[in-house]
Amino acid sequence: MTSQLNVDTIVDKAGTGGATLSKPTITEMANTSTYTSDGGAVTQNTVQGLAKAWLNQSQNNTINDSLNISGLTDNGVGDCTFVFSAVMANVNHSLLGVMNSGGNAANIMIIHNTMATASGRCRFGNYAGSGNSFTPFDDNSVKNTTHGDLA
């Protein structure tokens, strides 16, 4: 026999704040789920605030660990394309990348120069501001995170 509990709000015993849920484990969250900010003034959509993909890759463009990444293509020195397992809703998602300098100069930049719903392309290397020159290199530790809406 299965049961269903339909409620609008779950609060603590005193009725003053959110309740801590333990068992049974909640396995699915609706895409309309919201949370209230620490100060209580703002309500935001929980699902929209989550990272939809992340990638930790090595110098030889090997995936060390990832979420929602199905593959990685080496396009040349300091240039790779990663493929999403579940595609993004549009090309207006946000990509953020960081890397270890790998012993190179401190002027490090990751450029996400191709935005697509099924993949992301990035270049990484040194950027010398005075000459506006970019020197790509393969780094030993690159991390990318993608935020946006899944299709």
Return d(Cα 144, Cα 84) in angstroms, integer.
Answer: 12
Return d(Cα 45, Cα 25) in angstroms, integer.
Answer: 21
What pLDDT does 140 receive? Answer: 77
| Tens-binned pLDDT, residue by residue, of the chain (151 aa) | 788 878 777 777 787 766 666 656 666 777 777 888 888 888 888 888 889 999 998 867 789 999 999 999 988 888 889 999 999 999 998 888 877 765 555 556 676 767 899 998 888 877 766 666 777 877 778 888 999 999 8
Residue 69's CB: how many other CB atoms inside 10 A?
21
Give the pair of three-digit tokens for residue 107. Answer: 């002027």
pTM score: 0.72
Q: Which residues contact 118 (CB under 8 A, 6 or more apart)?
A: 83, 84, 87, 88
